[in-house]
């Protein structure tokens, strides 16, 4: 249909211009239209006078490149099964994927944007990228479930004997569920090999796509899971630093528990990145507000923290990704 190389190149360029323009528009609307930017700016102008705020804020900013660097390392390790990829190239692909993700449900466009930077083997690349996303989801779910156990201990009344039995049952469930999903992730090559046997012979192309998953070394899967854990600790640490920067005196472990529950709920809600700041803000206000006792001033600070996290970890990288989005080629080899 688009046989001419010149036509394909023109369509590709037009699409990329559209992506960049849409990304700029969505960031503008999120910050200046949908967000309470006036209140955020007012609180920021007050807080920035404090040396403590500037130190904590600078630390949160400096952690941002480490966050996405680890994601690039993780993606490079997986995508290496299709061919060698340099770390700078992997980092550029990750940045381009963030730009691509701004207006897709649950940021699906993030891994689509990365896959489109590949010149060929895109379906296999998508499967490998999905494995990396799954590892991050597993860490988020397990952290949230463990945090839930501590949350119930802190905030739920245990007034009846059966409450304790229910809580013990929940602990067993978390242990069993956590073990199960880690084993499933660890056995991904075995599962894909079993699927290959079920696919009809005439659908050999699907087998070709699945074959790349069978080659993934289990040691690499463990390393990918550990990289996801380190990433989780980094962006949760950024959250804690900003909580302290905006004057919320929540102890580290308590803050990590409430943040884990926030990310746990966020993972379960289908959203687009455009709406992420609003949903993240409301969920954060609910959990962190419990510690603050429903103080309206604390709620305003929590909303400012959520806005800043969104700007640092999504909006700013998306702007950087706009400079790398030209690497995306829509019409490559599958």
**Taking the domains of the chain in order of start, what are their residue ranges?**
5-327
Condensed to tens digits (0 to 9), the pLDDT of residues 57-81 reads 999 999 999 999 999 999 999 998 8
At 94-113, the pLDDT tens digits run 888 888 777 666 666 677 77
Mean of pLDDT values over 215-233: 91
Question: 44-73 b/e with 16+ CB inside 10 Å = b?
Answer: beebeeeeebeebbeebeebbeebbbbbbb
Give residue 329's pLDDT band: very low, low, confident or very high (50, 70, 90): low
Claim: this prediction has a pTM higher than 0.95: no
pLDDT over 90 percentage in the chain: 26
Rounded CA Rg of the chain: 22
Measured distance CA(218)–CA(222) in Å, rounded: 6
């Amino acid at each position: 249909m688009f046989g001419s190389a010149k036509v394909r190149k023109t369509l590709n360029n037009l699409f990329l211009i559209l992506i960049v323009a849409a990304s700029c528009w969505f960031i503008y609307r999120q910050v200046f239209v949908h967000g309470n930017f006036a209140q955020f700016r007012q609180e920021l102008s007050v807080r920035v006078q404090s040396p403590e705020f500037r130190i904590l804020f600078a630390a949160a900013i400096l952690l941002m490149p480490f966050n996405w660097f680890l994601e690039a390392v993780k993606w490079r390790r997986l995508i290496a099964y299709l061919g060698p990829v340099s770390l700078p190239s992997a980092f550029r692909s990750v940045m381009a994927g963030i730009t691509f993700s701004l207006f897709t449900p649950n940021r699906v466009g993030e891994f689509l944007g990365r896959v489109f930077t590949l010149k060929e083997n895109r379906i296999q690349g998508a499967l490998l990228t999905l494995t990396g996303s799954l590892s991050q989801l597993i860490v988020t779910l397990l952290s949230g479930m463990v945090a839930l156990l501590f949350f119930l201990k802190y905030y739920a009344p245990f007034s009846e004997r059966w409450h304790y039995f229910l809580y013990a049952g929940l602990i067993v469930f978390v242990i069993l569920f956590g073990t199960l999903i880690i084993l499933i992730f660890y056995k991904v090559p075995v599962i894909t090999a079993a699927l290959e046997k079920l696919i009809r012979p005439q659908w050999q192309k699907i087998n070709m796509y699945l074959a790349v998953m069978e080659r993934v070394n289990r040691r690499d899967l463990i390393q990918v899971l550990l990289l996801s854990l380190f990433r989780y600790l980094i962006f949760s640490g950024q959250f804690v630093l900003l909580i302290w920067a905006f004057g919320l005196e929540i102890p580290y472990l308590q803050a990590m528990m409430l943040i884990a529950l926030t990310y746990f709920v966020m993972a379960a809600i289908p959203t687009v990145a455009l709406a992420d700041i609003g949903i993240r803000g409301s969920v954060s206000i609910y959990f962190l507000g419990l510690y603050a006792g429903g103080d309206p001033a604390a709620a305003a600070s929590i909303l400012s923290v959520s806005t800043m996290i969104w700007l640092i970890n999504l909006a700013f990288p998306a702007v950087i990704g706009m400079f790398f989005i030209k690497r995306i080629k829509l019409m490559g080899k599958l």
